[in-house]
Amino acid sequence: MDSTVLMVAGFYFALTIALGFWVARHEKNKIDDYFLAGRKLPWYAIALSMTGSNIGTEHFIGMVGTAYIFGLAPATFEWGNFIPYSVLLWIFLPYFYRKKLYTIPEFLEKRYSPTTRSVFAALTLAHMVLAVLTPALYAGGRILYEMGMQTSLDSFNAGFMGCVLLISAATAAYCIYGGLLSVVWTDVLQVSILIIGGAVLLVLGLQDVGGLQKVIDANIAVDPDRFRLILSANHPISPWTGVATFWLTLSMWYVGTNQFYIQRCLGARSEWDAKMGVIGCGIIKFFLPLIIVFPGLIAFAKFGPGLAQDAVYVHMINAFLHPVGKGILLAALVAAIMSTVSSVLNSSSTIWAIDIHRRFIEPQASEEKLVTVGRWTTFAIIIIGTSLAPLLLQWKDGVFIYIQDMAALFAPPISVIFLAAFLWGKAHGRAATVTLAFGIAAGIAIYSIASSYNIDWLLPLLNRAAVSWILCLVVLIVSVYTIKKNPGETYDPDAIWNTQWARLPADERARNRGVRSLMFWWIVLVSVSFALFFVFR
């Protein structure tokens, strides 16, 4: 690798680690400080950190590669979230924030039962390790290696693992030390860098192929559907049936119930900051396809078909960038990796310490002890993720598809029980727990049936998720009426939503009028989302 590239990337590694340690230099051993950044995060930090936790190198590699194969369709996963953002903003988040929760599983005990909380906590940990941390480390290690971070003596496996270990060690260092405060403020830096780096490649790529119109013409000449979001019912990525239900399945689960996404909101300095952070993240996502989807369309115009899906982004880097540009983009990719990895580590340690250790292992643990447990959990989880990352070298369908396939297993039952928790008072803990267990089994069965019998309409992951969601809803309803509620089960009556939950406290409403109004920016979010789907329908 060119020494300039290494120098830029090395400087960024050092800067990120230094920032992570510096912002947490006054951190106390209190769970509010370590797990929720002292509940003092401003809205802009929340917005950028939520974005950073959502966008990793697996998106640069996986989503760009998927766009290269299928066209604009993957942008659905960024532009199609406005309904779940609205549900989080007006229904879920007010309760989460006002009840001062540390974790999302805590809510399920307040609304359903301790068993439901435990099952959900276990599923959340499994998902974060298998479907977020592992692919993030895999994608990061692969792209760093393929960009040249190896010696001539390295075998691929040894060089790849060296890159994974570098990412793991650097990220774990500041995450273990500073907790959420370090994670959020390094995210602010990292998202800024990844947007700049992604924009550099976008602009240079457009210049190389002759401009946007050339990209459009080259893609449409092969298939006019490559610039559409809503496609046939059997389209692998964006079937109209799946797009219509996406907000109920994958998106509702990811946006509304995901610990490593929402934890920043729980650490907000006010409810307005928490909600404005959500809106800000939603608005930032309008622009993300420019750096994680459009490059795939540019690559198709430049190279034509035939490239390996997960190798497209590296081909673009080598074709379009000189050493300084490669250094900037490598820094952006490192930023994306570290942001996702740090988010998973912090949230996983929070769930283990609060939902498992304090309840089952050491109920009388002090706050200092829980912080120590959180730090050791972070260390253990990064070891597990690092060990699993090489297994994805055997996955042939692309890392983005792997992530979404995993989501299609977890999302439907979780989405169903959370919507029912807030909107249907009759739903109870035993029914919710049965639905969670059934949903995971159903997701595996649907995937196996679709693959084994090559059922055309059931192969797209969004269609599988929709079928699973419907089955989970049926199981929940049947269970509510056929399984007796545990007589010892009580739930917080505030958990059933009413319109008062959508209103800010009076003092916050008085301070945030006009252009600071949540309603104003929410209307912007929804309007632009509708416009994008109308233009690219």
Mean pLDDT of 517-527: 96
CA pseudo-torsion sign 215, 218, 224, 230: negative
Q: Is residue 534 part of a domain?
A: no
All residues at 6 or more sequence positions from 417 whose CB lies less than 8 Å from its CB, including other chains: 108, 112, 116, 427, 432, 435, 436, 476
Domain span including residue 140 = 3-522
Are the CB atoms for 414 and 474 separated by under 8 Å?
no
Mean pLDDT of 331-342: 83
Are the CB atoms for 48 and 193 separated by under 8 Å?
no
The pLDDT, as a whole number, for residue 399 is: 76
pLDDT category of residue 529 using cuts at 50, 70 and 90: very high
Length of the chain measured in residues: 537
Q: Is residue 199 part of a domain?
A: yes
pLDDT tens per residue, range 173-189: 999 999 999 999 999 99
The pLDDT, as a whole number, for residue 303 is: 94
Q: Is residue 111 part of a domain?
A: yes
d(CA 537, CA 535): 6
Q: Is residue 532 part of a domain?
A: no
Lowest mean pLDDT among 19-33, 415-429, 445-459, 475-489: 19-33
Q: Position of tokens 């540009």? A: 325
Q: Is residue 533 part of a domain?
A: no
Q: Is residue 15 part of a domain?
A: yes
Q: Is residue 528 part of a domain?
A: no
Query: HEC string of 369-400?
Result: HHHHHHHHHHHHHHHHHHHHHHHHHHCCCCHH
| CA-to-CA dists, residue 438 to 377, 432, 486, angstroms | 29, 10, 19
pLDDT tens per residue, range 298-329: 999 999 999 988 889 888 988 888 877 787 77
Between 509 and 158, the more confident residue is 509
The pLDDT, as a whole number, for residue 152 is: 47
Lowest mean pLDDT among 7-16, 385-394, 510-519: 7-16
- Give me the number of domains the chain comprises: 1
Mean pLDDT of 47-55: 90
**Residue type for 380, please?**
A
Are the CB atoms for 46 and 273 separated by under 8 Å?
yes
Find, among 294, 292, 285, the residue nearest to 82 by Cα: 285
The pLDDT, as a whole number, for residue 465 is: 96
Mean pLDDT of 17-29: 84
CA pseudo-torsion sign 42, 43, 48, 53: positive
% of the chain surpassing 90 pLDDT:
70
The pLDDT, as a whole number, for residue 2 is: 64
Find, among 122, 54, 58, 80, the residue nearest to 403 by Cα: 58
The pLDDT, as a whole number, for residue 112 is: 95
DSSP assignments along 281-344, one per residue: HHHHTTTTHHHHTHHHHHHHHHH-S-S-GGGHHHHHHHHH--HHHHHHHHHHHHHHHHHHHHHH
User: Is the pLDDT at 65 greater than 50, yes or no?
Assistant: yes
User: Is the pLDDT at 153 greater than 50, yes or no?
Assistant: no
Mean pLDDT of 480-500: 88
User: Is the pLDDT at 402 greater than 80, yes or no?
Assistant: yes
User: Is the pLDDT at 156 greater than 70, yes or no?
Assistant: no
The CATH number for 470's domain is 1.20.1730.10
User: Is the pLDDT at 151 greater than 50, yes or no?
Assistant: no
pLDDT tens per residue, range 231-277: 999 998 899 999 999 999 999 999 999 998 899 999 999 999 999 99
Name the average pLDDT for the chain: 91
Q: Is residue 488 part of a domain?
A: yes
DSSP assignments along 104-167, one per residue: HHHHHHHHT-HHHHHHHHHHHHHHIIIIIIHHHHHHHHHHHHHTT-S-TT--HHHHHHHHHHHH
